[in-house]
Amino acid sequence: MAGTKKRGLDEQALGKNNKRLRVTKESSKTFELIESSNNSNLHKELKTDLQLPHDIQFLSPLDISFFRPILKKEEAATSDEVNQKDASKDISSEEIRFLKIFLRIKNGKQATRKLAWKNLHSFLTNNLQLEKLNLIITIMVNYLLSNNVTDLDRHTTLKMLTKILFILNANIKPFTGDILDILAPLLLNKDKYIESMVVEILKTLSINVGTSTIIKIIKDDFEENDEVLRLNASKIMAILTLTMPSNSNDSNLSTLLPLINTIANSQDSWKARQSGIRIIQYVLKFNNSSTSLLPNLNAIIECFYKNLQDSHIQNRILSANTLSILAKNCYPYGIESFNPVLELIWKGIRNYRGKLLSSFLRCLANIIPLMDSSYSSFYSKQLILIIKRELNTPDDDMKMTILLLLQNLIPISNITQDILLDDILPQFFEFFWIRRISLDKTLVNLVIYSTVKLATKIDPQIILENLLLPMRDDSESLRIMSIRAMNKVLRLDLNSSLNERLRTRMIDTLLIAFQDQTLNNDRSIFNCFKTVCKCLKKDIQPFLPPIISIILNNLKHKNPQNRQNSADLCTILIPSIKICEEFQTLNKLSVILFESLNEIYPDTLGSIIIALNEMVICNTMNTEPPVSTILPTLTSILRNSHVKVQLNTIRIISNIAQLSPDTIPHKEWLRICFQLLDLLKSVNKKIRVLANDTFGYIAKAIGPQDILPALLDNLNLQERQLRVCTAVALGIIAKVCGPYTVLPALMNEYRTPETNVQNGILKSLSFMFEYIGPDLTSDYIYFIIPLLEDALIDRDLVHRQTASEVIKHLSLNCIGKSTESAFIHFLNLLLPNIYETSPHAIMRIFDALESLCFTIGPGIFMNYIWAGIFHPAKSVRACFWRLYNRLYIQNMHSLIAYYPTENLIQPPSDNSDQVQEICFDELNIVL
């Protein structure tokens, strides 16, 4: 088997020269694929020699080569008899049949694929022979090992293999080696979904053929010179530990651990020992649950005794890293099991340097959280000395290890503030808060997190003082890194009192970083300013004049990005200015922001509008200029098509409508309503939602009588999106102003003999009853019965579909309201519609029927269902059984009392015996 795998890898190497892999079998034809450089010739041949079957959607160049035997044109029978005889010698009918099934599963249309899956099942179950199975495996090996297989084709082929394994069960055993040849390279695939599929297939294969069969095949690969073979064998062995034996509910891990231990402690080869450790590493990757690891922890750790002191350096590194992962997965249990290897780890830490020391330190860093306080205190004191020695290392891997070790040592009680201040902190900021570190994203996050952990043990003011120096650095990446750390440290305790000198230096440094900022998408400095404002509260008042001075200067800067940053900073400071009761400053900023509304850059204009919106919220009544002056200017800005500008303009209009609607003239509100009507056509959903909400606030401010005509006129338009948004707006107005203000107008408008208008009214009623809730719905049921009755008997399917949605909301809001008579009437009108075939309509009809069942009760509802369940026509029974099954799931406990007895069921007289037998068989299934 090892020889076979070597052959596969050699062919894989040949595949780099744009040639396909070939897997030969004595009993079947080899499908030799042409070099990829001849793809243009293939397309020419396709036009002349090949034809695309009518049920195939497409053919790739690989498909043209691979499925060539079934793509040849049928020639005249008189001239093709000899060729057919020759072809029959090369390719059998079984091959032709399987290739057709394979191609239709892979590239067929939807109906074709469904039929092809059924044909595959019959192909495998009817007269299965070893030659046929050999043929299937050969074709799939050829295809999956081809060089240009796409991810989609690989996924489909693996699904076929899963189906084949499920059907054939133990019959696949003779071809286990070939299947492993297919799956092993895919375990190294970067696509995690492909890897998960392969894992499931291997687990199924292990259950079908037995774990011992697979182990016999891969046992020689643990000592192979090729590292890829050893990796694949280790992964397969790890997957075998995940399968469930037939006589146990636990995984195979405890059964295979003696074998893994033997491999890991092999006397003959360091490669076998490395494979044993890799098996454990992959077991931890595929199964990181501590419930299966803890019972076998002692046996697992036995595999590391020799490897932690192996003569081969790579084995020691791999063992320490794997043991580190194991300790992390076992947290907070298992320290007793780690005690035997703890001495070896500590000995390695004292003797090794470089990568070996890094891996051993990382291992001990994850074991320390498992220890008791006495043991952790001893090791932590010794490790502090090692950390101090290695802080100035240039190796990035060692830096990461030091940071991880620090994070685990800081919570330990005997690591006091004095130890950290004297031994760690100065060198930590000297060697880790540098420009080179700030360019490495992985190290940046670790350094920031370690700094925050230090702040939990040391006074945060000391950490903040040390962060001020990198915040003044010329490197923007280092400034951003220190600002992020400062933000997190300040959040640890927002109520902490900072000394006056530190406040002054901190805000001064933040302002310098703000003025030097060039990155457009980084929000770190604004988040830090927001945290500083929350932390200082009223104490920020002495610093407001210089900050506002910088904001005002930058609002007139020639660079639009500077103007945008100033507006964003202004938005953050406005609540703090209000807390400090600096109303004169607020008015000054408000005037400047209002004068900046003529900004031509949309992103900058959007930030200015956000700041003005914050100003309106904080100082509505005393804003200078007043909101009656601001609003007309915003009305013209609504025409700006930029998303940020439109969203924030609608927000500020909505806030004005809620906070001070009386300060705006009636005509101005109407003008805004007409502007918002145009925004209902927007492709952005947030804009449409905000526009609809704003309609409700404006309607509450000026009354719905002037807005309703404009909205009802929109229902005459052909654009569906505009009609739907108008219906939502009508529902919101009904919620805000009361249904009695909207419902008469809607019922009157429904008399218009226009399909779009009537559908829009029904949609509005659906949203209205959804929004107003159960408290008001029951008061309006009997008023709209004639309208819904007309809609449910209309010939237009959309009328009945939308009316069903209205009934659904009505019935759900009226459970227990003593309105059963109205809903029984709706049930009589709605039930004949269950024969509709439109998927949208039938879904809403069934939803409405289920809702009616809750309102009128399952007993009355089931009286309508029994007759349909036992109807002689199958198509009728299918509809009623579908409805019954949905009700049965929801009301199982309530239906038992209403089941009819056998002597009450009277099937029709025609074909009575056959119908009665079918009906009672179906009922017995339920009972």
User: pLDDT value at position 18?
Assistant: 32
- Three-state DSSP at 56 gives strand
Mean pLDDT of the chain: 82
Mean pLDDT along residues 95-107 = 83
pLDDT over 70 at 193, yes or no = yes
Mean pLDDT along residues 189-205 = 84
pLDDT over 50 at 44, yes or no = no
C-beta of residue 690 within 8 angstroms of C-beta of residue 675: no
602 to each of 352, 517, 745, how far by Cα in Å? 60, 20, 40
DSSP 172: G
pLDDT over 70 at 414, yes or no = yes
Least confident of 144-153, 194-203, 215-224, 808-817: 144-153
Instruction: For residue 135, give the H/E element and its range.
Output: helix 130-144
Q: Give residue 800's pLDDT band: very low, low, confident or very high (50, 70, 90).
A: very high
> What pTM does this model have?
0.73
pLDDT over 90 at 448, yes or no = yes
**How far apart are the two ends of the chain, measured CA to CA in Å?**
56
Q: Is 330 exposed, middle or buried (0-12, 13-18, 19+ CB in 10 A)?
A: buried
pLDDT over 50 at 39, yes or no = no
pLDDT over 60 at 198, yes or no = yes
pLDDT tens by residue, 228-252: 888 888 988 888 888 766 455 556 7
DSSP 423: I
Cα pseudo-dihedral 359, 361, 362, 367, rounded to 10: 130
For residues 15 and 7, what is the distance between their CA atoms, to the nearest angstrom?
Answer: 12
For residues 135 and 116, what is the distance between their CA atoms, to the nearest angstrom?
Answer: 18
Candidates 639, 705, 723; CA nearest to 676 is 639
Q: Give residue 35's pLDDT band: very low, low, confident or very high (50, 70, 90).
A: very low
The upper half-sphere exposure of residue 189, i.e. CA atoms within 13 Å in the direction of its Cβ, equals 21
Question: pLDDT: is 44 or 441 the higher one?
Answer: 441
Question: pLDDT: is 15 or 129 the higher one?
Answer: 129
Least confident of 1-10, 608-617, 766-775, 814-823: 1-10
pLDDT tens by residue, 270-299: 888 889 999 998 888 887 666 678 888 888
Write down the domain spans for the chain: 311-317+329-415, 418-486, 661-772, 781-896
Mean pLDDT along residues 475-492 = 93
Supply φ then ψ for residue 494, to 5 degrees: -70, -20
User: pLDDT value at position 902?
Assistant: 56
Taking each helix axis from N to C end, the angle separating 602-618 and 583-595, rounded to the nearest 10 degrees, works out to 150
Long-range own/partner contacts, residues 870-877 (CB < 8 A, 24 or more apart): 870/905, 870/907, 870/915, 870/919, 870/922, 870/923, 872/907, 872/908, 872/910, 872/911, 872/915, 875/835, 876/835, 877/922
User: pLDDT value at position 70?
Assistant: 73
C-beta of residue 157 within 8 angstroms of C-beta of residue 106: yes
User: pLDDT value at position 916?
Assistant: 44
pLDDT over 90 at 531, yes or no = yes
Mention the CATH class of domain 781-896. Answer: mainly alpha
User: pLDDT value at position 99?
Assistant: 84
- The superfamily in CATH containing domain 661-772 is Leucine-rich Repeat Variant (1.25.10.10)
pLDDT over 60 at 28, yes or no = no
Q: Give residue 89's pLDDT band: very low, low, confident or very high (50, 70, 90).
A: very low
User: pLDDT value at position 53?
Assistant: 65
Give residue 818's Cα distance to chain centre: 45
CB atoms within 10 A of CB 712: 21
25 has which bridge partners? 28
Candidates 851, 859, 853; CA nearest to 813 is 851
User: pLDDT value at position 649?
Assistant: 93
Q: Name residue 780's amino acid.
A: Y
Q: Does this chain's domain 661-772 share its CATH topology with 781-896?
A: yes
pLDDT over 60 at 919, yes or no = no
pLDDT over 60 at 8, yes or no = no
Tokens 């501590």 belong to 290
pLDDT tens by residue, 559-608: 999 999 999 999 999 999 989 888 888 888 989 999 999 888 999 999 99
Give residue 535's Cα distance to chain centre: 35
C-beta of residue 604 within 8 angstroms of C-beta of residue 637: no
Mean pLDDT along residues 700-729 = 85
User: pLDDT value at position 16?
Assistant: 34
Mean pLDDT along residues 896-923 = 53
User: pLDDT value at position 30?
Assistant: 37
pLDDT over 80 at 21, yes or no = no
Tokens 């003569």 belong to 311
DSSP track, 471-525: HTSS-HHHHHHHHHHHHHHHHH-TTPPPPHHHHHHHHHHHHHHHHT---SS--HH
Mean pLDDT along residues 324-334 = 87
